[in-house]
């Protein structure tokens, strides 16, 4: 079963209506849309603008500002590597390079078969058990070569 719903305009309208009465509703709406469809489909932008009576440009501006919001679906699995200082200090650079080589993509890219999207994340707050990573929302600390390899084979499955 797929984690996400296929695009549906009525469902999108329903999600947006759910948050319409909240103060500063744009981020909660975008989050909810993305959690449902896996990304923020383009038709959502004017829908939000209409409900909140603000301009499309303003919603588009908000949408494009934040790293979290996706313009298109990610690969089947999302592997995020922490690339911040504490993980760098604990050998994260080497492990990131190893993951890039094993996956055959650079960080920030998706594998050609759409299996794995490999992304940087700036700090999971696991700096005392660094280096750390997140695979499909599940967190992993004290990474070493062996643990990275097993994460990658899990993501490839």
Partner 1 sequence: MSTKIYIPGDAAAVACGADEIAQAIAASAKKRGKEIQIVRNGSRGLHWLEPMLEVATPKGRVAYGPVTLSDVESVLDAMLGDGKHKLSHGIADEIPWLKNQTRLTFARCGIVDPRSLDDYKANHGYKGLAKAIAIGPEKTVEEVTNSGLRGRGGAGFPTGIKWKTVASTSADQKYIVCNADEGDSGTFADRMIMEGDPFVLIEGMTIAGMAVGATKGYVYIRSEYPHAIATFTDACEAGRKGGVLGKNILGSNYDFDIEVRTGAGAYVCGEETSLLESLEGRRGQVRAKPPLPAIKGLFGKPTVINNVLSLATVPIVMEKGAEFYKGFGMGRSRGTMPIQLAGNIKRGGLYEVAFGITLGELVDEIGGGTASGRPVRAVQVGGPLGAYFPRAFFDTPFDYEAFAARDGLIGHAGVVVFDDTVDMAKQARFAMEFCAIESCGKCTPCRIGSTRGVETIDRIVANNDRAKNLEVLEDLCNTMKFGSLCALGGFTPYPVMSALTHFPEDFGATPKLPQAAE
Is 79 one of the binding residues for partner 1 (CB under 8 A)?
no
Q: Does 21 bind partner 1 (CB under 8 A)?
A: no
Query: Contacting partner 1 (CB under 8 A), which of 25, 49, 74, 135?
Result: 25
Residues 110-139 that bind partner 1 (CB under 8 A): 121-130, 132, 137, 139
155 SS3 class: helix
* C-beta of 2 vs 23, nearer to partner 1: 23
123: Cα separation from own chain's centroid: 14
Q: Is 107 in the site for partner 1 (CB under 8 A)?
A: no
Contacts of 75 (CB under 8 A, 6+ apart): 110, 111, 114, 115, 116, 117
Beta bridge partners of 135: 79, 138
CA distance 135 to 116: 10
Q: Least distance in Å: CB of 54 to partner 1?
A: 8
Q: How far apart are CA 99 and CA 107, in angstroms?
A: 9
Which residues contact partner 1 by CB under 8 A?
23-28, 30-31, 52, 58, 61-62, 65-69, 84-91, 121-130, 132, 137, 139-142
């Amino acid at each position: 079963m797929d984690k996400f719903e296929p695009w549906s305009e009525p469902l999108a309208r329903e999600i947006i209506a759910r948050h319409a009465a909240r103060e500063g509703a744009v981020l909660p709406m975008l989050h909810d849309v993305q959690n449902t469809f896996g990304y923020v489909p383009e038709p959502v932008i004017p829908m939000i603008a209409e409900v909140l009576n603000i301009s499309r440009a303003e919603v588009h501006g908000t949408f494009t500002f934040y790293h979290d919001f996706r313009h298109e679906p990610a690969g089947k699995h999302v592997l995020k590597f922490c690339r911040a200082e504490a993980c760098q200090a604990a050998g994260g650079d080497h492990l990131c390079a190893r993951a890039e080589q094993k996956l055959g993509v650079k960080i920030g890219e998706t594998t050609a078969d759409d299996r794995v999207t490999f992304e940087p994340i700036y700090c999971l707050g696991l700096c005392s058990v660094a280096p750390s990573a997140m695979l499909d929302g599940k967190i992993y600390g004290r990474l070493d070569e062996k643990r990275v390899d097993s994460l990658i084979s899990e993501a490839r499955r």
